[in-house]
Amino acid sequence: MSDYVIRPLTADELQQAVDWAGREGWNPGHHDTACFHNTDSDGFWGGFLDGEMIASISVVHYNDTFAFLGFYIVHPEFRGAGHGLKLWQHALSNCSAHNVGLDGVVDQQHNYRKSGFAFAYNNYRFTGTIADIQRALKPSIGVETLTQASDALVAYDRQLFPTPRDTFLQGWISAPTHVSRVYSEDGEIKGYATLRPCQTGYKVGPLFADRADIAETLLASLLEALPADHSAQEVFIDIPQPNQAAFDLAAKLGLEKVFETARMYSSHQPDIELNRIFGVTTFELG
């Protein structure tokens, strides 16, 4: 592996990793590259063999104590030769002071455990068509358009994510074609959500809400914003297993479980309110 070089990815090279993620079935969003890269431009790494990118990984540092790992992919032609492991070790080499989270495929848990990660819970991807979901939803009431990450929104998000993520939130909410909504009661935020177009259909994430009825109202508002001729397209929501109310809502809407990941952490499970997470923001950045 003398010609194997590990270095940070440019934005264009990150797009290649995003395209790989699409081929692996992760169904990335149309504007994920810009949103992710702007969050931590130094958090994306590639392994290059004779100048060709053959492996990718991200370890996005939100601050000095928390990071999230994703995009761990080795091109199929180069698997089994140790390139991925070397890239993994390099990317994590400066994370000794960080609690690192990841959402990995379940059958790779044993490999992540070898690197010091401990299982926290599973996340499950659910899907249904826009038309079918809307038939089960009531029209939205009391929901407002969300265009920026206000101080109040950042404070609300902080209860449901391991660390402040102001830069990510502003980019996520304001990205072209992303649709975001917020729900308030008596002047206080009680939930918010974002919908984004993906390679296939749409994803909703985050879907954060104090109660199931608020999550349902937010989802209805997001879907109402879509063109009528998109009604046959799929919508995907990633739900953490500990939130039974979210599973009950998925059942009410007739959603089908299609995929699962293992949420794992290198140090400890953060103290966040999973019962208010009705949809994970993204498997790649947490």
The CATH number given to whatever domain includes residue 71 is: 3.40.630.30
* Distance separating alpha carbons of residues 261 and 97, to the nearest angstrom: 25
Q: How far is residue 144 from each of residues 68, 147, 186, 205, 233, measured CA to CA in Å?
A: 30, 10, 14, 17, 24
Q: Are residues 150 and 115 in the same domain?
A: no
Which among 66, 93, 122 is the end of a domain?
Answer: 122
| pLDDT of 233 over the 50 cut | yes
Q: Are residues 114 and 154 in the same domain?
A: no
Q: Are residues 91 and 222 in the same domain?
A: no
| Closest listed residue to residue 220, CA positions, set 206, 233, 234, 204 | 204
In a domain, 47, yes or no: yes
Three-state SS at 150: coil
Q: Are residues 99 and 129 in the same domain?
A: no
What is the pLDDT of the chain when averaged over all its residues?
A: 95
Confidence class for position 1, pLDDT limits 50, 70, 90 = very low
Three-state SS at 126: strand
**pLDDT tens digits along 101-159:** 999 988 888 999 999 999 999 999 999 999 999 999 988 888 999 999 999 999 999 99
- Residue range 53-64: mean pLDDT, rounded: 96
- Residue range 6-27: mean pLDDT, rounded: 93
Which among 59, 93, 122 is the end of a domain?
Answer: 122
| pLDDT of 96 over the 90 cut | no
Q: What percent of the chain lies above the pLDDT cut of 70?
A: 99
| pLDDT of 2 over the 70 cut | no
In a domain, 211, yes or no: yes
Q: Are residues 100 and 165 in the same domain?
A: no
Pairing of strands 66-74, 99-105: parallel
pLDDT of residue 106: 86
DSSP string, 200-212: SSEEEEEEEESSH
pLDDT of residue 9: 96
> What backbone phi and psi angles, to 5 degrees, belong to 236?
-115, 135
In a domain, 130, yes or no: yes
Q: Are residues 166 and 270 in the same domain?
A: yes
Say if pTM beats, i.e. exceeds, 0.85.
yes
> What backbone phi and psi angles, to 5 degrees, belong to 102?
-155, 155
In a domain, 115, yes or no: yes
Q: Are residues 137 and 165 in the same domain?
A: yes
Which among 60, 91, 122 is the end of a domain?
Answer: 122
Confidence class for position 94, pLDDT limits 50, 70, 90 = confident
In a domain, 105, yes or no: yes
Q: Are residues 129 and 219 in the same domain?
A: yes
Confidence class for position 266, pLDDT limits 50, 70, 90 = very high
Q: Which domain holds residue 138?
A: 124-279
Q: Are residues 128 and 269 in the same domain?
A: yes
Q: What percent of the chain lies above the pLDDT cut of 90?
A: 93
pLDDT of residue 190: 98
Q: Are residues 183 and 250 in the same domain?
A: yes
Q: Are residues 128 and 112 in the same domain?
A: no
In a domain, 285, yes or no: no
Domain count, the chain: 2
- Residue range 202-221: mean pLDDT, rounded: 98
DSSP string, 77-122: GGTTSSHHHHHHHHHTTT-TTSEEEEEEEGGGHHHHHHTT-EEEEE
| Closest listed residue to residue 100, CA positions, set 139, 136, 62, 149 | 62
In a domain, 221, yes or no: yes
In a domain, 284, yes or no: no
Q: Are residues 99 and 29 in the same domain?
A: yes
| pLDDT of 252 over the 50 cut | yes
The one-character DSSP state at 188 is E
CATH number of 194's domain = 3.40.630.90
